[in-house]
Amino acid sequence: MTETAPVPGYTVGTWDIDAVHSDVEFTLRHMGVGRSRGRFDKFEGQIVTAENPLESSVTATIDTASVNTGNADRDAHVRNEDFLDTANYPTATFRSTGIRQDGDEWVIDGDFTLHGVTLPVSLQVEPGGIADTADGGKMLGLSASTTLNRTDFKVGPDGGAMLGEKVKITLEIEATLRK
């Protein structure tokens, strides 16, 4: 396969995720009929773009105590030992193990660690582009998503009609090129 740059203006370098202009969100079924949504307000990470895009890498860390569902009581419950157990597992991490093209799609494969469990995940990526910033720097944008089974990570009760097991993770990322 011929490696092609994912976006015009592709630039080699190390990019820092801009948490102010990025989102880490999740959605899962509630009571089998509705969806509950939430986000993590604190996270950081780096994207290293290589000469060959398929040799690039991504690392990220999420502060699990920063979970925000828009309801303080629910947030406290999600932080406790019934779910994220943030006292014992204060972070979730992602480290890429490979980047590949699947037709016209880009996929970042990696190891995701949550609640003390590390499993492989694949992020479906939609490159947003690269732009020049007002201060002479560069900004990279991308959207990514995956679906996890929360019980694989030992988060929350197994089964039951109250809370769905599939959790959709959606990332909207902007990152700035290090100078």
Q: What domains can you pick out in the chain, each with its CATH number?
A: 13-177 (2.40.128.110)
For the segment 140-158, what is each residue's pLDDT rounded down to a tens digit? 999 999 999 999 999 987 7
Residue 127 sits at φ, ψ, to 5 deg, of -60, 135
Mean pLDDT of 111-140: 95
Q: How many CB atoms lie within 10 A of CB 112?
A: 21
> Is pLDDT above 80 for 165?
yes
- What does the pLDDT read at residue 1? 38
For the segment 25-38, what is each residue's pLDDT rounded down to a tens digit? 999 877 667 788 99
The answer to whether 175 touches 16, Cβ cutoff 8 Å, is yes
d(CA 141, CA 153): 29
d(CA 49, CA 140): 10
The answer to whether 44 touches 144, Cβ cutoff 8 Å, is no
Q: Which of 121, 125, 176, 114 is nearest to 150 (CA)?
A: 114
Q: Which secondary-structure segment (H or E) carries 81?
A: none
Around 36, how many Cα atoms within 13 Å sit in the side-chain half-sphere?
A: 19
Q: What letter would DSSP give residue 73?
A: H
Those residues with Cβ within 8 angstroms of residue 15's Cβ, 6 or more apart along the chain or in another chain? 46, 47, 48, 49, 140, 175, 176, 177, 178
